[in-house]
A and B are shown apart, each in its own frame.
Chain A
Amino acid sequence: EPEVTQTPSHQVTQMGQEVILRCVPISNHLYFYWYRQILGQKVEFLVSFYNNEISEKSEIFDDQFSVERPDGSNFTLKIRSTKLEDSAMYFCASSVHFGSGTRLTVV
């Protein structure tokens, strides 16, 4: 069974700091996604990535967020200046396959 790997599993950061969440998607897939889930709320779409560029993004995905695939394998989500409300579980998806998530806690 192919796997999507996310690191770290849990990250604690201070408000205002930059964080990078990492994902290794399945190698022959074309569409990659980031979703987030604030505690007790729905899973929400953030951004989709196809052919090395953003194909669609939600209203949540504002200027503090960015994604890239720097080396053709890793797929990263960067949050430039974290806020308390960015605390959530962040999921990477490769086509229909989801990673186990990164729990981000902003203090």
Chain B
Amino acid sequence: KQEVTQIPAALSVPEGENLVLNCSFTDSAIYNLQWFRQDPGKGLTSLLLIQSSQREQTSGRLNASLDKSSGRSTLYIAASQPGDSATYLCAVRGLYSGAGSYQLTFGKGTKLSVIP
């Protein structure tokens, strides 16, 4: 059974700092990996999706890397801003299960606070 772990659980940084959020997963047989942002009490905003054949994806100040063989992904946020404060969730999508599904398994998230 796939398990996804995110470290740290919470992180507080001053504005302007670059930071890295970590995600690890136990089963490397994945279809893709997705990073989400969640604001308190709100829905999930997809940030980046990396296919299993890719090493990284970039969007603006965000860069996500994937090392499938070691079961790790990182989300790099450059020049952090107070508006980046949120919980960041990592989720992996398993290979076709035979039962016909590509469901996501989520980590608990890293709660980021960017201090002005």
Measured CB to CB, the residues of A under 8 A from B are 31, 33, 35, 41-45, 48, 50, 55-56, 89, 91, 93, 96-101, 103
Q: Are A42 and B103 also in contact (CB < 8 A) when A91-B43, A97-B46, A98-B43 are?
A: no
Per-position binary interface string of chain B over residues 20-50, scored 1 when its CB falls under 8 Å from any chain A CB and 0 otherwise: 0000000000001010100001111010010
Q: Report whether B43 and A31 are in contact in the complex, using a CB–CB cutoff of 8 Å.
A: no
Chain A residue contacts of B43, Cβ below 8 A? 89, 91, 98-101
Chain A residue contacts of B105, Cβ below 8 A? 45
20 inter-chain pairs at a CB distance below 8 angstroms, sorted by A residue, are A31-B102, A35-B104, A42-B107, A43-B89, A43-B91, A43-B104, A43-B106, A45-B104, A45-B105, A48-B101, A48-B103, A50-B101, A56-B99, A96-B34, A96-B49, A97-B46, A100-B43, A101-B42, A101-B43, A103-B41
Q: How far is the CA of A48 from the CA of B44 in the complex (A)?
A: 18
- Is B59 close to A, CB under 8 A? no
Measured CB to CB, the residues of B under 8 A from A are 32, 34, 36, 41-44, 46, 49, 89, 91, 93, 97, 99-109
